[in-house]
Amino acid sequence: MEQSEKLTPEAKTLIPRDVIRALGRGIRQSLAPHTQVIGEELQKDVSITDDKDKTRISDMQNALDKTNGFIDDLETAEQVFIVPFYTGSSNLFGLYDFEFSSEKTAKDTPEADTIDIDAATTAKLRRALNHNLNNTLGKITGHSQLLSFNADSDIANLGEIILSNADHIQERLKPILNAETINITTDDLGNTRIRTTPLQPKKEKE
């Protein structure tokens, strides 16, 4: 996001480099089997003549590129802050966004490690991730669903494959986007796994 004049240094939360990079790496590794398939399907030489369908393909490619770019930023930005996301003049819904420093460095070489993210930080991460991922991935889901209804069997098949993988992505993200706390473990081979404890429903006041 661009720096808002309403934001002050005190409003920012700097996420430790090892934490945010491990989170980005874990998300990338979890989603890769499905983002790769979607990317391959979008590059297939399928004859599409309808302008609306062409636009849908283009929009999905842009959404995929944006998603991959966002995850890459989590792993390569020198500094990553969580900041309140303002709509108009105020932060009406307690939303958060990420602010990435312009300086980028190579992705870290994974080392065996365990990282626990507390509830307060997880709450901000959860909202910022929701803000960045739901809209872009929603476009892929919506457009692929429309393509799956196409009378042309090749286009319909393309839509069905992309939709199936988009649904798998949503399922893999769901625990993170509804987490109370997050635990990230990396093994000696660099495989990073994200475990979560789910949000507990708020108790009604008696």
Q: Which residues of 166-197 are buried (b: 16+ CB within 10 A; e: fewer)?
A: bebbbeebeebbebebbebbbeeeeebebebe
Using CB atoms within 10 Å of the CB of residue 82, give its burial: 0 to 12 exposed, 13 to 18 middle, 19+ buried. Answer: buried
The rounded mean pLDDT for the chain is: 90
Would you state the pLDDT for residue 1?
A: 44
Average pLDDT over residues 73-90: 85
Would you state the pLDDT for residue 87?
A: 62
CA distance 188 to 192: 10
* Residue 205: pLDDT band with limits 50, 70, 90: low
Alpha carbons within 13 A on the beta-carbon side of 120: 2
pLDDT above 80: residue 188: yes
The tokens describing 115, both together, are 């990282």
Q: Which pLDDT tens digit goes with each residue over 162-173? A: 999 999 999 999
Q: Which of 129, 135, 127 is nearest to 91 (CA)?
A: 127
The phi, psi pair for 34, rounded to 5°, reads -95, -35
Would you state the pLDDT for residue 137?
A: 94
CA distance 69 to 7: 24
Task: Give the torsion sign (CA, 163, 165, 171, 173).
Answer: negative
> Using an 8 Å Cβ cutoff, are 139 and 162 in contact?
no
The structural domains of the chain, with segments of one domain joined by +, span 9-198
Q: Is the whole model's pTM more than 0.85, yes or no?
A: yes
Amino acid at 189: L
